[in-house]
Structure 1
C-alpha cells in the first residue's frame, strides 16, 4: 500500500512559487552567504544535497573536533548526494539455511548506498523542502540522524522526499534535514590517549555542528530555526538522547523536540576502559604506529585506507560480541560527563517534549553472531563475560530464570517453537532486545514522564518472516507515508502527534503507562500497557546501572 502511496506523493505536483530565492520553474536555488546553491526539483519538493556543514576532517583535522565551515561563495551544485562517511566492513554472518530469504533483504536495507562515494570528507547534509517554500515560510524542521550501530549508514539511505511530500498532503508542511557524522574509528575511537586529547565521541560533535549550521542557514530554505525537532533511529535515536543530555541539558536553542525510534541512553560505561584501550592499541599497531613517538599523531598521518583496514579487524554488531562493540558512545567527562544511564537518573536533560518507541522483536537481527552458543552454561558464560563482566556470576545467572531457553518464550515473540535457529537463539534475542532496546526505553520514559511531555509506542508492524517485528522495521512506515510517519510530522509541526482525526495517542504517565501499538492485524492502531516483562526489564536495568559496558 505504501509503495503505491509513495509513487502518488512523489509524482504529484503543486503550484510552484515564483519567489526569487526558490525559482522552481527553472533551476531552484537559495542564497547562502555569497553563494548560489542550486537544487533539484522532484514533484512537490526540492532537494538540496551534499551541502558541507563543517570543514573536511582530513589531514591534520582527522581525529579532531569538527571545525565550522567558512562562508560559502560561488555556485554550489547541490543536486547529488555528498560523500558517505567511511564505513566499517565486517565479515558477513553465515545465516542458517532455515532463515527465510526475506531476512537478507531486510539487512541490506540498512547498508550504505553502493552508488554514492565514501570518503573522510563526508560532513555534509541534505535539505528537502516543499517546492513553494521561501525564506519567510518559517516551516518546522525535522532533522534526521541515521542509525547503523555507529559503524554504518549515511544520509543517502533514507531520503526525505516522501516525508516532506506527505507533510504537504496532510497540511503540516515540514522541512527535512539529514546529516552525516563520522563512524567507527574515525568518529568514536576510545582509549586513554584519545580521552586526554579531548577528541572522543567525535561523531556526536559532528551532529552538534550540523545543528549549529541549521540555526544559521535553515531560514534561507524556508525553515524556522526555533522549530527544530531532532529525530533518529537506533544509533541515531541514542544520539538524539545524548544530544538531550549533553551540555548540562541545555539545548542551546538548537532543538525544541525529539523523536526517538529504538534508541535511548544505553548501558555503556567509560571511554577509557580496558576493552576500548585494547581496541585502540590494536588499531595503533595494525596502522604501523606502535613505535611512533605520538601514536595519535601517527594515526592522523596514515592513509585513510590503512586506518580503515585496521578498523575492519575490530568487532562489529554482527560479530560474536554483538552489542558490546567498541564504537558505542561512552562517558568521556565532556560530551558525556558520566555513563549515560546513570546520568539520566541524577543529571539534567533538555526539558522538551519527545516521542520514543520500540519494535516488538528488537533483538532478533543482532543475535545471529552467537549461534554457536548452544547450552545454558554457554549462554551464562556469554552474557557474564560480554555484558556484565564485573557482576557476580550468581547475579547474572538469575537472567537464565527470567529468560528461559524454551523457544516459545523467546523472540520473535508469539511464534511458538518456530525460528529456533539454535538452541539459544530465541532466548538470546529476547534478552538482547530487552537489554539494549526495551528496558532502556522504559527507564527513560518512566524517569521523565512526570517532568515533560512524553509519548511512547510499540511497533508490531511490517513484520518479516523469521525475525518478527525486528529492529528498524517501523522505518518502512515512517519513510513510506504510513500512520507513524503522520504522527511524526504532526509532532514536528505542533509538538503534539494527535490531530487530523487520527487515532488518539495519549501522553505517557507512570499512572497510565499507555503505548500506541501498531499491528499488522485489524485494528492496526490500539493502546496497550507498558507492563510486559516488567520483572525481567527491572532486573536488567538494575544490573546495567551498576555495571555498564
Structure 2
C-alpha cells in the first residue's frame, strides 16, 4: 500500500481512489518479509523480530463502498477484478480510517467540532480493510483468532483503536489478532424508509459481518483456525458484538465461536419516524431530494454532511446528551424470510429475552463509572436533568421519571452530575451486561461458559480496561499497573484459546467464577443462586455478586425504553 500522508487534500484524493490504486504491487519483494497467498491475491507484510509478530496491513475484505455502492451490502473482495493472482501486493502500511465524526453533545466546544477529526493515517471512503497480526513463531498451524470490532459510538475509530500487538506477543505464539474497519456515521448508519427501499440500513454492521466472513474464508492462510474465532469489542464495539450475536435472529451458523462484549454500548434505537427525520435532515442540509443524489455527492462533502447532521439534530427525540445519534436500527421483521435479507429483527433486549442470539461462550464487563464521559457537567438541577433525559426516553411519562428518581434519589449523590452519570451508565452499558449474562446462562447449551467482570481500576471510567488489554507496544506501557495488565491479558488469551478465562491465565491471576457458579451465592438447599462476577479494584481481584442484578436494571429491562413507535 502506498505511503499515506495526513493532509486533507491527500485524504480527499484517497477517498476517491480505488482499491487497486491504494494497494500497490511490489516491484522487488523482500526475501525475509512474510508473505501470504490467499488464492485470489498474494500479500507481503512486515515482521517485527523483537515482538515476534508478522503484520499484514490494509487488507481489503470488500469492494470500495463508493458511488452506487453507498448504503449497499458490501461486496466480497474475492469477486473483484482488482488483483493479478500472480503479483505480490504490498500490505506493509497502515490504511486510512473510515470517515469519522463526533457527537455534538459531548464536543460542544466549536473548536473541537470538525468534519474531519484527526486520525493518524488520514481518512477515506474506500476503507473496508482489516489488519492481521500473526506470531512469527506459531505454536501450531491452527491458532485461535481474536477479531476486534472497534468502538467509537458508530461514528469514530479505526483498525488501530485497539491494537493487538501486546496480546499477540503475550500469547507466546498462540494467538492471531485481526482488527477491522467498517463504515461509520452517515456512511454506515444512515437510516430511513428510502434507504431501506433503495439500499440497506445498518451498512456498518453488514461490513462487520462481511469482514468476519472473510476471516472464515481466508484465515487459514495466516495459520488461523476459522472454527476458533472470538469476536471482541468495547463500547460501540461491544454494541457491535451484541448486534453480531443477534444478527438475523441467529438463524444460521455464526462466523465466530465465542464473544467478548466489553462495556456494550446500547444506545436507544431510532424508531421509524426518527429515522426518517435523520434522513430528511441529510437531504435538507445537502440540497438533495433523493438517495441517488446523496450517492452522487463527493466523498468529502458527505463526510462534512455527516457531522452537520449530528450538529443540527442535537437535541431532539432520539438524540440526547451522550448519544451518538447514528447507529444500528431494527431493519427487519420477526420472520425467517425477512431475516435472510435483513440484519436486526428486534431490539437487543427483546432478542436476548426470546433467545434469539447465537449460543456461544460469552464474556462481558463494564467499568465503575460508565456515565461520566457522557453526562453534562453544566446541568445542576433535576429540571435540567429531566429535560435532557426526555430526549433519551421520548416516550416516557411521569411514572417513568417518578420511578427513575426513586431508584436514583438525589440525596444519594453529591451533585446532579453524579446522579445522572449513574443512571445513564446503568441504562446504556451496565444493565445490558446483566441482560446479556442472565439470558446467556438461561439459553446457552453450556451455562457455565458465561463470565462477567466489573473493573474499578485505572481511570475507572468508560474504556478503562483498554490500557490493560490493547497496546501497539509489548508490555502494556500505558497501564498504570503492569501486574494487572499481565493478569487481564492472560484472562483474554485464555478465553480466546479455551472459551474460559481460567485455564491459561497467569499464575498471579485469581480464579474467575462463571456467572452462575457456586462462587458467591448459595441458597439454603445448596444450589447456586449465581450472579457471580470477578470484581477488579486497585488493590483486589476477587469474586463478587453482580451489582447489576438489581431493581435498577430490572426497571430499565421491564420498561424496554428502546421502543419502536
TM-score, normalising length: structure 2: 0.80
Distance 1:310 1:113 in 2: 17
C-alpha distance in 2, partners of 1:508/1:316? 41
Instruction: Report the CA distance shift for 1:363/1:483 in structure 2 as closer, same or farther (over 3 A).
Output: same
Q: How does 1:108-127 map to 2 (within 5 A)?
A: 114-127=119-132
Answer yes or no: is the 8 Å Cα contact 1:267–1:339 preserved in 2: no
CA distance in 1, matches of 2:286, 2:191: 16
Which runs of structure 2 are paired with 1:82-101 in the superposition (5 Å)? 82-90=95-103
Counterpart Cα distance in 1 of 2:494 and 2:222: 20
**Where do residues 391-540 of structure 1 align in structure 2 (5 Å cutoff)?**
391-406=396-411, 409-410=412-413, 417=414, 423-452=415-444, 453-463=449-459, 469-479=460-470, 480=476, 481-500=485-504, 501=507, 502-509=509-516, 511-521=529-539, 523=540, 525-531=541-547, 534-540=550-556
8 Å contact 2:164–2:177 — kept in the other structure? Answer: yes
Alignment partner, residue 171 of structure 2: 167
- In the TM superposition, residue 89 of structure 1 has moved relative to its aligned partner by 4.2
2:88 corresponds to which residue? 75
Residue 242 of structure 1 aligns to a residue whose secondary structure is helix
**Corresponding position of 1:285:** 284
- Listed as ranges, the matches of 1:279-428 within 5 Å are 279-290=278-289, 295-315=290-310, 321-333=320-332, 334-367=342-375, 370-383=376-389, 385-406=390-411, 409-410=412-413, 417=414, 423-428=415-420
Show the counterpart of 2:185: 184
Q: Distance in 2 between matches of 1:358 and 1:485?
A: 16
Question: What is residue 255 of structure 2 aligned with on the other side?
Answer: 254
- Structure 1 residues 504 and 461: alpha-carbon distance in aligned structure 2, compared to 1, 3 A threshold: same
Q: Which residue of 2 aligns with 1:26?
A: 32
Q: How many residues align?
A: 482
Change (3 A) 1:189 1:124: same
Once the two structures are TM-superposed, the CA of residue 191 in structure 1 deviates from its matched residue by 1.2
Deviations 1:1-46 (A, max 9, x none): xxxxxxxxxxxxxxxxxxxxxx997111111215331111112111
Q: Secondary structure at the match of 1:283?
A: helix
3-state DSSP of counterpart to 2:41 = strand
1:401: Cα distance to partner?
Answer: 2.3
**How many Å apart are 1:145 and its aligned residue?**
0.3
Q: CA deviation at 1:378?
A: 2.2
Q: How many angstroms does 1:399 deviate by? A: 1.1
Question: Are the aligned partners of 2:145 and 2:228 in contact in 1 as well (CA < 8 Å)?
Answer: yes
Separation in structure 2 between the aligned mates of residue 352 and residue 488 of structure 1, nearest angstrom: 16
| Offset of residue 58 of structure 1 | 1.0
Displacement of 1:90 in angstroms is 5.0
C-alpha distance in structure 2 between counterparts of 1:482 and 1:95, whole Å = 38
What is the CA distance between 1:247 and its match in structure 2? 2.7
Q: Deviations over 1:323-382 (max 9, x none)?
A: 443212111112011222112212421111110011011100111xx3343212222222
State the alpha-carbon separation in 2 of the partners of residues 141 and 231 from structure 1: 10
Let me know the Cα RMSD of the aligned residues.
Answer: 2.7
Q: Name the SS of the counterpart of 1:228 in structure 2.
A: strand
C-alpha contact (below 8 Å) 2:62/2:77 kept by paired residues: yes
Deviations 1:170-209 (A, max 9, x none): xx71100001000010000011111223410000000010
Change (3 A) 1:430 1:34: closer
Residue 104 of structure 1 corresponds to none
Mapped partners of 1:317, 1:372: distance in 2: 20
The answer to whether the aligner puts 1:138 opposite 2:142 as a matched pair is yes
Q: Matched residues in 2 for 1:390 and 1:374: separation?
A: 24
Contact 2:249 2:344 in 1 (8 A): no
Instruction: Provide the secondary structure at the position in 2 that maps to 1:450.
Output: helix
Separation in structure 2 between the aligned mates of residue 439 and residue 92 of structure 1, nearest angstrom: 23
- TM-score norm. by structure 1 comes to 0.82
- Alpha carbons of 1:188 and 1:95: their partners in 2 closer, same or farther (altered >3 Å)? closer
Cα distance in structure 1, aligned partners of 2:368 and 2:564: 24
**Which structure 1 residue ranges, 5 or more long, are not aligned?**
1-22, 97-106, 411-416, 418-422, 464-468
- Select which of 149, 158, 161 maps to 2:162: 158
- Following superposition, the deviation at residue 231 of structure 1 comes to 0.7
Query: How far 1:92 sits from its partner (Å)?
Result: 8.4
* Secondary structure in 1 matching 2:160: coil
Structure 1 Cα separation of the partners of residues 293 and 38 of structure 2:
37
The whole-number CA distance in structure 2 between the counterparts of 1:313 and 1:511 is 50
Alignment match, 1:66: 74
Distance of 2:158 and 2:547 partners within structure 1:
35
| Structure 2, unpaired ranges of 5+ | 1-28, 333-341, 471-475, 477-484, 517-527
- Deviation, 1:275, is 2.1
Q: Deviations over 1:30-65 (max 9, x none)?
A: 112153311111121111000000000112111211
State the distance in 1 between where 2:33 and 2:346 align: 49
CA displacement 1:230-273 (0-9 Å, x = unmatched): 11001111111111111331453511100110016x36345x52
User: Residues 92-151 of structure 1, C-alpha deviation per residue, up to 9 Å, x if partnerless?
Assistant: 85799xxxxxxxxxx9xxx976320201000000000000249x7100000000000001
Cα distance in 1 for partners of 2:561, 2:30 equals 53
* CA separation of 1:494 and 1:338: change in aligned 2, threshold 3 A: same
Q: List per-residue Cα deviations over 1:476-532 (Å, max 9, x = no partner).
A: 1112353222111111111111024431111112711111111112x3x11111145
